[in-house]
Structure 1
Amino acid sequence: MAPFATIFSYPNNFRVQRAHALAALGGLELVDAPDFSIGTSNRTPEFLAKFPLGKVPVLETSDGFCLSEGQAICRFIAESGSKADQLVGSDVKTRARIEEWSCFADQELTANLIPPLLMTLFKMIPYDEARYNQHASSVERAVKRVQVALESGNGKFLVGEQITLADIMVAGSLVLAGRFLMDAEMVKSVPKVKEYLDGLFEIEEVKKAFGGLQICEQRLRN
């Protein structure tokens, strides 16, 4: 039987790790495209015919459905598996709350993580201390928002008592943050966040997809 879908990207892309976690939770087989080389494979006429922007990650199902944008890919996978009602919500308010957290993950966390990431780990843009500090401050603010939500005691997870798309989206961003910006000092100020992440990584599908949680001792700068 053919896999549910193939995903195309570079190694260790947290957006792909999110997708794999959701696929595993929903009982779907998601495979990485073999011999895919970023900068080469995504510029071929065949690839661009399916994905005109040439960006990754992108997904193609076994029946030829093609999809780009990490958030859309994750939602599609979550809705396609056996735990769709759990992962995306079974009523309109729950679905809205899950979507709220999914948007938060990309707009408040990821959007502020990418510029410092490009300055430090990838060194793709010049280091700008003022800009770095601005984005780091925004990440801290967002992480504290997660802390406040967890302190409210409305459930074990961000939306209720079962893991949902919201948790995978937020966890993906926080895993990325832990590699270079969310350091030990920051984590001390948000104990509920650390406890929450530790609990998520006790779930085998999550642990396998992300490969474990790492918190840097000190945030990476230039």
Structure 2
Amino acid sequence: MLTLYGMSSSGNCYKPRLLLAKLGRPFRHVEVNAMDGSTHSPEFLALNPNGKVPLLQLEDGRILAESNAMLLYLAEGTSYLPDAGFERALVYQWMFFEQYSHEPYIAVLRALKKYPERAHQATPERVAQLLEGGHKALAVMETRLEKTRFMAGDDYTVADIALYAYTQDAAFAGYEMTRFPHITAWLERVATHEGHVPMEWLP
């Protein structure tokens, strides 16, 4: 059976859980997180020297880190990852956008709001910088979703899972989601797509 090491409240850890649920693939969840130091235990570092979650252990013992790499691996041969070259490249494009232009702002500000032990890092200057960067990323998504039902086109793909994980909490983090009606409609489409499970779901 697959084993997924992760922090249940993390958006990055939610991504592979959501895809596995939609695929109907059984897996074992092992709670590991940075808050209690367990990601830096000798046992975990032996699996992932980077000391981060999520971490996926395959049935044969091989290890795969990085949430978007897991999405691409697990989606291979399914409807969640196109076969055609250009359509597949669009999925990659939005997944790279998520990691470079979206997650560093929206996920970080969410963490500052969600975890009390990080509240002291939420200086006015840093919050303003995170809001600016996050609103810029959301504006890019809004422009895209004016034209397509999902991020890579008309079909739901792992690009939607990658961007949904933290966008669903953008309002909680302090972003003005009333500015982005097409994102709001997309969030609803993702949340009502067949096989969807909320972040709180665990196997």
Q: TM-score scaled to structure 1, two decimals?
A: 0.79
**Structure-1 separation of matches of 2:20 and 2:164:** 15
TM superposition outliers: structure 1 runs of 4+ over 6 Å: none
**Structure-2 separation of matches of 1:139 and 1:41:** 30
- Counterpart of 1:51 (choices 48, 60, 71) is 48
Contact 1:98 1:164 in 2 (8 A): yes
Instruction: State the secondary structure of the residue aligned to 1:55.
Output: coil
Per mean C-alpha deviation after superposition, the further-off stretch among 169-178 and 38-47 is 38-47
Q: Which residue of 1 aligns with 2:39?
A: 42
Q: What is the aligned-residue RMSD (CA, Å)?
A: 2.2
Q: Which residue of 2 aligns with 1:143?
A: 138
1:40 CA displacement: 4.6
**Structure-2 separation of matches of 1:126 and 1:210:** 25
**Structure-1 separation of matches of 2:136 and 2:3:** 35
Unpaired runs of at least 5, structure 1: 213-222
Whichever residue aligns with residue 210 of structure 1, its letter is: M
1:96 CA displacement: 0.7
- Counterpart of 1:28 (choices 17, 21, 25) is 25
Q: Which residue of 1 aligns with 2:114?
A: 121
- Counterpart of 1:133 (choices 128, 131, 134) is 128
Q: What aligned pairs does 1:68-83 form with structure 2 within 5 A after superposition?
A: 68-79=65-76, 83=78
**Structure-2 separation of matches of 1:91 and 1:62:** 28
Unpaired runs of at least 5, structure 2: none
1:114 CA displacement: 4.1
Whichever residue aligns with residue 12 of structure 2, its letter is: R
**Structure-1 separation of matches of 2:33 and 2:107:** 21
Q: Which residue of 2 aligns with 1:210?
A: 199
Per mean C-alpha deviation after superposition, the further-off stretch among 69-78 and 100-109 is 69-78
2:167 aligned with 1:178, yes or no?
no
Instruction: State the secondary structure of the residue aligned to 1:8.
Output: strand
CA change 1:147–1:60 in 2 (3 A) is same
Q: TM-score scaled to structure 2, two decimals?
A: 0.86
1:118 CA displacement: 4.5
Q: Quick check: which has more Rg, 1 or 2?
A: 1
Per mean C-alpha deviation after superposition, the further-off stretch among 13-22 and 115-124 is 115-124
- Equivalenced residue count is 198
Instruction: State the secondary structure of the residue aligned to 2:56.
Output: strand
Deviations 1:111-139 (A, max 9, x none): 11244345433242433212211110111
Deviations 1:184-220 (A, max 9, x none): xx222111110111111112432x14359xxxxxxxx
Q: Highest relative contact order (Cα 8 Å, sep 6+), 1 or 2?
A: 2
Deviations 1:76-121 (A, max 9, x none): 2222xx62xx212111101110001011112111111244345433
Contact 1:117 1:180 in 2 (8 A): yes
